[in-house]
């Protein structure tokens, strides 16, 4: 029996024999052809491109129907590349000028593309996988070789692979694939996105799990803890089966809390909001018993589109969420473009270190027409609605004041145009950099509310790329430095009567609920599935208990010591939760 630790990207437990997926490689020699055969090679190439487009469209349609349109959008890049006239010309030029086969032209050109991505920072790693996926699809259609399929397995399996291409992940047999254990990948990989959407337990960043097991070896995937157990003994299997059963029972028991308030045993009310990326997700927040939307990410409007969204596109998206929420509060975050998002993949010269570059509010302040378009739509849509506007990645007072000035200018333009709009929309900011946290007293005198974005706050405070599996063990919300910054921001909010919420992944982790309540957080915003469990913790403790937990935690000087204490404290008030086995 061997236990491996990775990054849990989709919670749950799966127990089944392994299916080890080999990497699909093509040996394409440099074979020359007579000049008179070039047109024939080009015809083969065009046919392969056409077949590949058809394959991807079918896969995208099936993915959209089975998983969702948002997940299916991962294939937009594939289609865009295959439709790219510049790429097709490079294929043809290579065939004509070098007198080579279409297979070699495809391999040579796309490997060149992949090398360009590999020479860029870590955040573009997923694009390399996309390029390899397209290359393999084209080569299969050229040489007539079928790939190892994951669509028609004959029994339940845990898939072990060095990595899965987007096509492989989306095309999995949902009936028989119970879990994923992947050597590569991080929290934002395609595998992670699709596994979450399918509800498949998944652990990535395992480095060499494929070398540890063979086909048929019994494997346990614990996506909640980020653990994979290879060849477990009967006792371990029995324990995990019981653990899995209790986990399912516990999740179902939370349904009864949907319409109950999140109030502590001694009467302190906590507001539980949801984080959403797409308008339709607002319904999930309500279904899970959420009080509203604490973080509405708006970047989806710019994903998978050829032209910039119009003011009406923004307006309609915001109105859809407002209508679904029926008077509940909604916090709309202005565009957080840049870094690992679509601006880098489209840029002529991508930034070498985009997480420290022109992203979020910096990008918006340089792209004023785009920024003003969004603000106009927010102000128009928020008439007679409980909507607040929030600026991301503010690092200094100048940025905040510029953003506020632009909002005032846009409101004046709407007034002059006699367009109905919200005159008094609350303006807030995300605290997600150490500079913002350290200047929180100054910021508190300038805004209506704070929202702690712990994902980036942890990343920037600890100098850890949260998408890099090589340093995943260093990315922790329990680091004393991170907790100290959070405490300071909460105190500043209390001092200046500025509400402070928390909207990072930390807010959806039940282990931190009592600590955050004890530090003074009364508004949590998390993914919709996490809301019921957080509510269960809130309703199971007193505020006095939470304060004691927070005081004790702040005396520790190590993240592991803090995590161990918090797990024990949470288990004491909520023994049925799945954090213990």
| Residues acting as catalytic residues | 190, 503
Taking the C-alpha atoms of residue 457 and residue 224, their distance in angstroms, rounded to an integer, is 23
Residue of 50, 26, 42, 30 lying closest to 108 (CA atoms): 30
Phi, psi of 188 (to 5 degrees): -110, 15
Pairing of strands 218-222, 13-21: antiparallel
Q: Which two tokens stand for residue 277?
A: 């990326």
Taking the C-alpha atoms of residue 534 and residue 508, their distance in angstroms, rounded to an integer, is 7
Q: In whole angstroms, what separates CA 560 from the centre of its chain?
A: 25
Residue 230 pairs in a beta bridge with 2, 219
Residue of 362, 222, 376, 384 lying closest to 311 (CA atoms): 376
The owner of tokens 């709407």 is 414
* Residue 18 parent element (H or E): strand 13-21
Residues whose CB falls within 8 Å of the CB of residue 161, separated by 6 or more in sequence, listed in order: 20, 21, 168, 180, 181, 182, 183, 210
DSSP string, 215-278: TT-EEEEETTTTEEEES--HHHHHHHHHHHHHHHHHHHHGGGGTTS--B-TTS-B-EEEEEESS
Residues whose CB falls within 8 Å of the CB of residue 518, separated by 6 or more in sequence, listed in order: 543, 546, 547, 548, 549, 550, 551, 553
Q: Which two tokens stand for residue 76?
A: 């937009």
Q: Which two tokens stand for residue 268?
A: 């302190």
Phi, psi of 274 (to 5 degrees): -115, 150
Residue of 228, 182, 212 lying closest to 469 (CA atoms): 182
DSSP code, position 446: T
Separation of first and last alpha carbons in the chain: 18
């Amino acid at each position: 029996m061997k236990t491996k630790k990775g990054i849990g990207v989709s919670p749950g437990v799966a127990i089944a024999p392994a299916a080890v997926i080999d990497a699909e490689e093509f040996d394409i020699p440099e074979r020359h052809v007579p000049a008179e055969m070039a047109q024939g090679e080009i015809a083969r190439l065009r046919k392969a491109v056409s077949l590949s487009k058809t394959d991807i469209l079918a896969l995208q349609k099936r993915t959209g129907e089975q998983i969702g349109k948002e997940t299916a959008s991962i294939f937009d890049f594939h289609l865009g590349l295959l439709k790219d006239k510049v790429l097709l010309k490079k294929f043809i030029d290579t065939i004509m000028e070098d007198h080579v086969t279409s297979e070699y032209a495809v391999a040579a050109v796309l490997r060149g593309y992949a090398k360009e991505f590999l020479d860029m920072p870590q955040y573009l790693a997923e694009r390399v996988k996309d390029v390899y996926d397209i290359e393999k699809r084209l080569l299969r259609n050229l040489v007539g070789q079928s790939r190892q399929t994951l669509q028609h397995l004959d029994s339940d399996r845990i898939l072990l692979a060095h990595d899965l291409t987007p096509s492989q992940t989306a095309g999995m047999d949902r009936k028989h694939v119970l879990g994923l254990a992947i050597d590569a990948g991080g929290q934002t990989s395609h595998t992670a996105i699709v596994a979450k959407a399918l509800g498949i337990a998944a652990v990535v960043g395992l480095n060499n799990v494929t070398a540890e097991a063979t086909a048929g070896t019994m494997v346990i995937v614990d996506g909640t803890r980020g653990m994979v157990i290879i060849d477990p003994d009967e006792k371990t299997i029995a324990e995990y089966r019981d653990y899995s059963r209790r986990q399912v029972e516990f999740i179902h028991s939370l349904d009864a809390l949907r319409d109950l308030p999140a109030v502590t045993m001694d009467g302190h009310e906590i507001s539980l909001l949801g984080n959403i990326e797409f308008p339709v997700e607002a319904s999930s927040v309500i279904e899970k018993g959420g009080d509203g939307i604490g973080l509405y990410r708006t970047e989806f409007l710019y994903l998978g589109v050829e032209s910039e969204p119009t003011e009406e596109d923004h307006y309609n998206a915001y109105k859809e969420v407002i209508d679904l929420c029926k008077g509940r509060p909604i916090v709309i975050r202005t565009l957080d473009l840049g870094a690992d998002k679509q601006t880098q993949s489209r840029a002529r010269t991508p930034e070498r270190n985009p997480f420290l570059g022109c992203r979020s509010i910096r990008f918006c302040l340089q792209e004023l027409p785009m920024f003003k378009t969004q603000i106009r739509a927010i102000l128009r849509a928020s008439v007679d609605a409980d909507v607040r506007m929030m600026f991301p990645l503010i690092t200094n007072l100048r940025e905040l004041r510029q953003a506020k000035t632009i909002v005032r200018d846009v409101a004046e333009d709407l007034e002059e145009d006699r367009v109905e709009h919200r005159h008094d929309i609350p303006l807030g900011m995300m605290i997600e950099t150490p500079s913002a946290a350290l200047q929180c007293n100054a910021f508190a005198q300038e805004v209506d509310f704070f929202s702690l974005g712990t994902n980036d706050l942890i990343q920037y405070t600890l100098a850890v790329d949260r998408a890099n599996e090589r340093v995943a063990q260093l990315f922790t919300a329990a680091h004393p430095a991170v907790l100290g910054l959070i405490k300071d921001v909460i105190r500043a909010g209390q001092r200046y009567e500025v509400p402070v919420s928390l909207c990072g992944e930390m807010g959806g982790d039940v282990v931190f609920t009592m600590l955050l309540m004890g530090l003074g957080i009364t508004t949590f915003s998390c993914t919709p599935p996490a809301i019921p469990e957080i509510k269960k913790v809130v309703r199971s403790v007193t505020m006095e208990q939470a304060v004691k937990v927070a005081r004790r935690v702040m005396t520790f000087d190590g993240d592991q010591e803090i995590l161990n204490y918090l797990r024990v404290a949470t288990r004491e008030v909520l023994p049925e939760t799945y954090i213990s086995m």
